[in-house]
């Protein structure tokens, strides 16, 4: 991926505001966009009018790249409602979790209808368990090629959570973009993956830049991303969240001594076996909200603790005592975390906080 040496100059329709933001080109796709993009998973949680308002504000603020997925309930429909009639002004990436060609085509046609478009800029295999390749017997890669030949998609992408699969994807040379978790909690191996993508001419789309909500310093997150040839997509649900990212079009943060010290402190506290909150472990057979309960110790110390000490969350945490060790969450976790063990550790800490034995 090529990191451009020029700046993105965005002028609103009223031509009253000029914003500056570095641009990035996603590998060999030729897609060039500000290095600050919209992750549309969370807008499935707000009503359509609010989602459309947020999407319009994001575009007016300078964002031109929007990432969604068939799995994000009505997220695609909201993007379609927001951007109908201005398709040439934005880039849309979507995804399918299909594992058969039949389901692939069903998802693609549904996405095109929902997005109110006749093409998707980047269509991605979503959270894959293998690197689909020609002749592997699945027919999946062949379906992508056919969709591209028909003009229904313009570029072939893929998303993964497991580093080994991601490395295999890059080595295959079959994909134009890779979407993978990347934040300032990245390991050396994750950083090497970014470098490998750049060498291979692949675009790197960085998801989970806040590590599922564990990181809460947007300046530090953006300053870290600015050092690497990646396109960060920020999951946005509220206007206050959008405003956090749009302000960087006016003044992009630089890596300062203070920011580096904050990053170093967070890395010391958080690196290791931590839940990113992706939710792929769900549903739990006994109703535990795994992606929150398995990281409660961290969340309660990194956001207003009263929110997590409510009667509602006390009841949710106590459900951990009902865990039957069925192993379903272990099989689903893309990070191969020891989830039952994490749940028990977090519950023990939580009880200690409630009883005053443990300080927050």
Are 243 and 295 in a shared domain? no
- Among 283, 75, 25, smallest CA distance to 177 is for 25
CATH number of the CATH domain containing 42: 3.20.20.100
Residue 276 falls inside a structural domain: no
Residue 272 falls inside a structural domain: no
In Å, how far from its chain's centre is CA 234?
7
Are 190 and 329 in a shared domain? no
Its domain, for residue 63, covers 2-264
* Domain count along the chain: 2
The torsion angles phi and psi of 20, rounded to 5 degrees, stand at: -115, 135
Residue 181 falls inside a structural domain: yes
Residue 220 falls inside a structural domain: yes
* Whole-prediction pTM: 0.85
Using CA atoms, how far apart are residues 181 and 162, in angstroms rounded to an integer? 9
- Among 80, 88, 60, 94, smallest CA distance to 205 is for 94
Q: What is the pLDDT of residues 169-191, one digit of tens each?
A: 999 999 999 999 999 999 999 99
Are 104 and 244 in a shared domain? yes
Are 209 and 316 in a shared domain? no
Q: What is the pLDDT of residues 12-42, one digit of tens each?
A: 443 434 446 899 999 999 999 999 999 999 9
Domain end position, chosen among 264, 279, 298: 264
Are 30 and 98 in a shared domain? yes
Are 202 and 328 in a shared domain? no
Residue 281 falls inside a structural domain: no
CB 46 within 8 A of CB 276: no
Domain end position, chosen among 264, 298, 314: 264
Residue 313 falls inside a structural domain: yes
CA end-to-end span of the chain:
43
Using CA atoms, how far apart are residues 221 and 202, in angstroms rounded to an integer? 22
Position 13 scores a pLDDT of 44
Are 172 and 320 in a shared domain? no
Would you state the structure tokens that stand for residue 175, as one six-digit string? 């994909």
Are 16 and 161 in a shared domain? yes
Are 307 and 247 in a shared domain? no
User: What is the C-alpha R_g of the chain?
Assistant: 21
The torsion angles phi and psi of 273, rounded to 5 degrees, stand at: -85, 95
Residues (pLDDT < 70) of the chain are 1-20, 304
Using CA atoms, how far apart are residues 275 and 290, in angstroms rounded to an integer? 9
Residue 271 falls inside a structural domain: no
Residue 165 Cα distances to 41, 43, 54, 170, angstroms: 23, 29, 34, 9
Are 209 and 325 in a shared domain? no
Residue 22 falls inside a structural domain: yes
Position 307 scores a pLDDT of 85
Using CA atoms, how far apart are residues 169 and 157, in angstroms rounded to an integer? 10
The torsion angles phi and psi of 77, rounded to 5 degrees, stand at: -60, -40
Are 93 and 207 in a shared domain? yes
Are 317 and 202 in a shared domain? no
Position 360 scores a pLDDT of 77
């Amino acid at each position: 991926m090529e990191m451009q040496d020029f700046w993105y100059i965005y002028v609103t329709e009223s031509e009253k505001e000029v914003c500056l933001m570095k641009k990035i080109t996603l590998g060999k796709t030729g897609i060039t966009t500000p290095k600050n993009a919209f992750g549309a998973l969370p807008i499935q949680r707000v009503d359509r009018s609010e989602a459309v308002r947020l999407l319009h504000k994001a575009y007016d603020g300078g964002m031109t790249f929007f990432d969604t997925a068939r799995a994000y309930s009505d997220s695609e429909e909201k993007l379609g409602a927001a951007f109908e009639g201005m398709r040439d002004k934005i880039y849309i990436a979507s995804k399918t979790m299909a594992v058969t060609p039949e389901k692939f085509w069903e998802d693609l046609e549904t996405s095109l209808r929902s997005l109110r478009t006749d093409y998707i800029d980047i269509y991605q295999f979503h959270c894959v368990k293998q690197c689909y390749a020609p002749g592997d017997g699945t027919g999946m890669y062949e379906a992508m090629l056919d969709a591209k030949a028909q003009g229904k998609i313009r570029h072939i992408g893929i998303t993964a959570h497991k580093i080994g699969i991601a490395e295999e994807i890059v080595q295959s040379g079959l994909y134009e973009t890779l979407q993978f978790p990347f934040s300032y909690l990245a390991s050396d191996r994750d950083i090497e993956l970014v470098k490998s993508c750049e060498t291979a001419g692949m675009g790197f789309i960085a998801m989970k830049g806040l590590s599922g909500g564990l990181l809460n310093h947007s300046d530090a997150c953006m300053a870290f991303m600015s050092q690497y040839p990646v396109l960060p997509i920020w999951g946005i649900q509220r206007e206050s969240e959008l405003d956090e990212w749009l302000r960087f079009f006016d003044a992009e943060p630089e890596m300062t001594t203070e920011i580096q010290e904050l990053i170093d402190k967070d890395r010391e506290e958080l690196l290791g076996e931590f839940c990113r909150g992706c939710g792929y472990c769900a549903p739990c057979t006994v109703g535990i909200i795994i992606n929150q309960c398995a990281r409660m110790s961290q969340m309660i110390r990194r956001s207003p603790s009263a929110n997590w000490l409510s009667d509602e969350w006390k009841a949710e945490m106590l459900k951990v005592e009902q865990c039957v060790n069925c192993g379903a969450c272990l099989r689903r976790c893309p990070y191969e975390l020891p989830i039952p063990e994490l749940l028990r550790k977090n519950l023990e800490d939580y009880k200690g906080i409630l009883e005053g034995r443990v300080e927050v």
